[in-house]
Chains A and B, each alone.
Chain A
Amino acid sequence: MKNPLYNRVMFVLSLAGLLIAGYLWFLHATHGDVPCGGSSGCDKVAQSPYARFPARTGPYVAAYGTLGYVGLTVLTFLRTLGGGPARDRVLLGLIVLGAGIGTIFSLYLTYLELNVIHAICKWCVASQALILAVLVAGVVELLQTHSFKSVSSSSSTGEPLTE
């Protein structure tokens, strides 16, 4: 990891996402009202069949979000433990892949909110912004530090992983 800043940013964003998704999952589990800053959008989304995936029958979407953010948090942490550039590249690749899947899923949920449910949940928007930010940070780091050129260069010179 040439520049630990990206990983720190992704760690903090994932942690924030974990808190939001975990909080929403907790509210679902306890049948609590979702505070929404004066609007009823969050409850409308939470009460809709699309609060679960697959719709109506599956686990809560917030549960997927919580597990996804746990995964991203763990992956960013694992990168701090060293282990060589190849391992770091795999971990960063998994982060980008996870954030990419999360972003696509978020876009699908946004489509449902706008076109089917006709309500916007601010918590969901915050989580969608966070997952997108993780993806952007991951892709930027991947492009800056893990291009084929830099990998082969660092491998040949035996450049140690950060720290």
Chain B
Amino acid sequence: MKMTGEAKFFIAIGVLVLVGVGFLFATSARPPSGPGATPAAAPTPTALTAALVDELYAEARHTKGDKNAALTIVEFADLECPNCRRAYADTVKDIEKKLPTKFAFYHLPLEMHPRAVPAATALESAAKQGKFWEMYAELFDQKSEPLTDEVFEAAAKKIGLDVAKFKTDLAADDVLSAVYKDRDHATEHNINTTPTFLVKDKNGAVTSVAGAGAFAELFKDLQDGAITAKPAGAPPAGAPPAGAPPAP
């Protein structure tokens, strides 16, 4: 089989492309990073209003607490985020014992956390058996790192799920889709930090805080379901904390 002119033409194109790619690799500079780098433009925050908090609560697939409560809290969190776990342990765990609250949860799995999406699907799989909040408590209380499939399975057994069904549901498309729909809500409202809490008090005043410490302070200052003070480190009331660096 002799080398035809067409074959030589193809080889020439291939060599040219290889040389071009090699040249691009050799000359491309890495984007600047570190303290001196120019930060990416922060997204424009969506205005935070009482109507938005009500809408997010109404659209949430996972809510708990007293539906007649005057205080509404919407949480955006990621199960692999240490700050979210701290917020759960410090405040969220006992929130309803302290104040009548309407509480809603949205998944916001951050890209930096490789086990955040699998953990969120574990919550959704548990939700299919009506035990979302039991799994939520179990996984936020979880001390194991990382959140492996074995950890999910052990949690499923502990809260009394049908483990076979739970494992099947983990891989179901609708389960993953539910997680991403939640994340889309966060993206839509420029919420990109975990945990983020949107709060509407009994007077209709609203605020948002990001981080475990800020939420603990805010909650401590909630007196009889009314926001009395802006906690240190909180973003300005009227806007979610968009543009803040994501929690590790």
Interface residues of A (CB under 8 A from B): 4, 7-8, 11-12, 15, 19, 40, 43-44, 47-49, 55-56, 73, 76-77, 80-83, 112, 115-119, 162-163
Residue in contact with B6 in the complex, picked from A40, A47, A48, A80, CB distance below 8 Å: A80
Report if A80-B13 is in contact (Cβ < 8 Å); known contacts: A55-B171, A116-B173: no
User: CA–CA, A8 to B176, complex, Å?
Assistant: 42
CB-CB under 8 A from B173, the residues of chain A are 112, 115-116
**Can you list 27 A-B pairs with a CB-CB distance of less than 8 A?**
A4-B6, A7-B6, A8-B10, A11-B13, A15-B17, A40-B111, A40-B187, A47-B111, A48-B117, A49-B176, A55-B171, A56-B171, A73-B14, A77-B7, A77-B14, A80-B6, A80-B7, A81-B1, A81-B4, A82-B1, A82-B4, A115-B173, A116-B176, A118-B180, A118-B183, A162-B6, A163-B4
CB-CB under 8 A from A19, the residues of chain B are 17, 21
Closest approach, in angstroms, between the C-beta of A27 and any C-beta of chain B? 13
Q: How many residues of B contact A (CB 8 A)?
A: 27
Any A CB within 8 A of the CB of B3 = yes
CB-CB under 8 A from A43, the residues of chain B are 111
User: CA–CA, A15 to B17, complex, Å?
Assistant: 8
Query: Contact between B111 and A80 (Cβ–Cβ < 8 Å)?
Result: no
Interface residues of B (CB under 8 A from A): 1-7, 9-11, 13-14, 17, 21, 111, 114, 117-118, 171, 173, 176-177, 180-181, 183-184, 187
Residue in contact with B176 in the complex, picked from A48, A82, A83, CB distance below 8 Å: A48
User: CA–CA, A11 to B11, complex, Å?
Assistant: 11
Residue of B nearest to A1 (CB): B6
Residue of B nearest to A35 (CB): B31
Query: Contact between A117 and B7 (Cβ–Cβ < 8 Å)?
Result: no
Residue in contact with A12 in the complex, picked from B7, B13, B117, B187, CB distance below 8 Å: B13
User: CA–CA, A162 to B9, complex, Å?
Assistant: 14
User: CA–CA, A112 to B173, complex, Å?
Assistant: 9
User: CA–CA, A163 to B111, complex, Å?
Assistant: 53
Query: Contact between A118 and B4 (Cβ–Cβ < 8 Å)?
Result: no
Closest approach, in angstroms, between the C-beta of B122 and any C-beta of chain A? 13
Query: Contact between A80 and B4 (Cβ–Cβ < 8 Å)?
Result: yes
